[in-house]
Amino acid sequence: MEVALAGSRTSAQYAQGLREGLELTSRMRALVEAIREVVGAEEDGEGELEPETIDLKTLLREALDDLEPVAAAMNVRMTLDCPADSSAVVKAPRRRLAGVVFRFLESALSLAARGSLVQMETGGGAAEAWIRLQWHAGATSSAGPRPELGLLVAQAGWERAGAGWKREQAEDLETVTVRLPRVSAEGGSP
């Protein structure tokens, strides 16, 4: 940045160079924060939390309740469809998985177009539980890469918990499906 601004330039060119440098610095800072979050989660996870039997529906509802004021301010509706006859019970450290679920929903909400719908579904079969999250992407915001980085951090968290991650895009519709091994009714693995 110093080299770029060292030569003779007009005031407008200096100002533009500084703006671009600050924008780049902001992006770099967001990347470093995301890296720290992923590395910090890995370090926190080294033997400190015991896996528990968790209903993903409960974690989704809790995160949804926490994010409802943000969604209302953004004019985005969030829905959760959890069929009563499907199981979404998994085994994982609750605190860690709750943080991943919150980050996942928060990132999708931040990426959603104003006035749109963020739709969540859960279900499960004999061997796995799944969460599907869909939203219509909004125009790139002044928030820059932070929501996308948040989604990548959430992906890392899901994968660390043993989940499969699949993200699809069709025009402005974004769909992420997360699949985790299900826990049987007796509390063991399927």
* Res 184 pLDDT > 60: no
What sections of the chain are H helices per DSSP? 2-6, 11-44, 56-74, 94-111, 146-160
* pTM for this model (two decimals): 0.73
* Structure confidence by residue, pLDDT tens digits, 144-159: 567 788 888 899 888 8
Q: What is the band of 187 on the pLDDT scale with cuts at 50, 70, 90?
A: very low
pLDDT single digits (tens) 68-86: 999 999 999 999 998 877 6
Interatomic CA distance for residues 115 and 119, integer angstroms: 13
- Spell out the residues 6+ positions from residue 147 whose beta carbon is closer than 8 angstroms to its own: 107, 110, 111, 141
Task: Give pLDDT, residue 140.
Answer: 56
> Is 117 within 8 Å of 146 (Cβ atoms)?
no
Residue 161 has pLDDT above 80, yes or no: yes
Tokens representing residue 171 in the block: 């025009």
Q: Is the pLDDT of residue 47 over 70?
A: no
Mean pLDDT value across the chain: 80
Which two structure tokens, joined as six digits, stand for 77?
Answer: 């509706």
Q: For residues 80 and 59, what is the distance between their CA atoms, to the nearest angstrom?
A: 11
pLDDT (tens digit per residue) in 114-133: 999 999 999 877 788 899 99
